[in-house]
Structure 1
Amino acid sequence: MNIKALLSTAILTLSMSSTAVIAGDLKVKITRDIASVDVMHNGKKVTIQRNQNNKNNVDPRFAKTSRNCPPFCINPIVLAPGVETLGEVEVLDYLKRMSDGDSSILVIDSRTPNWVKAGTIPGAKNIPWTKLSVKKGADPLSIAEIVTEEFNGKELDDDKFDYSNAKTLVMFCNGMWCGQSPNNIRTLLKMGYPANKIKWYRGGMQNWENLGFTTVK
């Protein structure tokens, strides 16, 4: 584990200290030092923890191993230069910071609504990849509205944006074979969004479900 990852884990552990004490009797923890994480979802507190049933099995929707490629091809660890790939502990850190009032962070479920209805990561906001894709019918005005109102970009002339105060976006979809969050990320990069302000949870819902984490509908 590199220094950045160690620091992220240490910060998360410290910020979770009170929660970890309360949930200290959990047998299936997130890490040795973190038992659960409280985040806000649609104005309500949700406790993220792992399923405590040692006989629990993964949701069948995420148990399938073989999907036709294309379109369901396995994505590389590094999706694009400058875009950081995250694991679950780092995603929890961003969720906690956002829930604690850090308005510079936005965790995004890039999937279409039919997937999201079945369950998503607590604290995430659904912005389907189709909403940023002209090829999928999104018009430039609605795209600009998302960039300015959701991502805190500032619209300039000639369909360009000032991203100096733009949010750090943490994007995910169904997993390493899913193209929905990669499509969102590539679209934003083409629009000039800074790569260092885009994070990608490659494991997505498949890894989240495999580890028995809390989801919300």
Structure 2
Amino acid sequence: MRKLARQCLLIWYAFVFSAPDGIAQQVADETFNYPVPMPAYKVGSGPLIVFDEAHNNASTLKGAYAAFGKLLESDGYKVVSSKEKVSFGLLKKAKIYVTVNAMYDMEDWNLPARSAFSQEEINELSNWVADGGSLFLVTDHMPCGASVNELAGRFGVNVINGFALRRDGQPEVFSKERKTLTSNKITGPPGKEIDSIMCWGGTGFIVPPNAYVISLLGEDYSI
């Protein structure tokens, strides 16, 4: 089987994985706190991060991703949630746009799935990224993957609308020892090397040749 990149959400000091609340029985630890002794910016003085809540996102900044938001704010970033559709006005002051499990319809899993983002929104995001913005796209297993595949496709990424499952049912540990976790600036900063991560559920995606891949699905997975 062709090796595929695995859906993971990685941000400097912590890993956060999620699925829509109505799809998987997962409870976020909203009290989680990770100390940042040397923040990248003074509190409230860093770049603006816009967290998408306009596309039927079950994961919200004050809900499942509360710890994510707290971590970024501790590092000095300004983080705001937005219920607005993507537009030039929304993006013009932002440095990073985060969208988690965007869906066209949370209740409808029937095929063919429809894009959570309109062509106008995809065009705005594509132009904004070309001008220096950063898109942080997080998705999950079917039907989430299909809802963002048109957006991901604009950047050469093919998100598979399925389920990535380990065949033997064992814990989903990605490690450098197993060669399923790569060495790069994210997993290997001096003194903070990450040798393994643990995931559950999700899907896979195929990336273009120039992409930097963090983790891989091996022969022990099926989609």
TM-score scaled by length of structure 1: 0.29
Which one has the bigger strand percentage?
2
Which one has the bigger helix percentage?
1
TM-score scaled by length of structure 2: 0.28
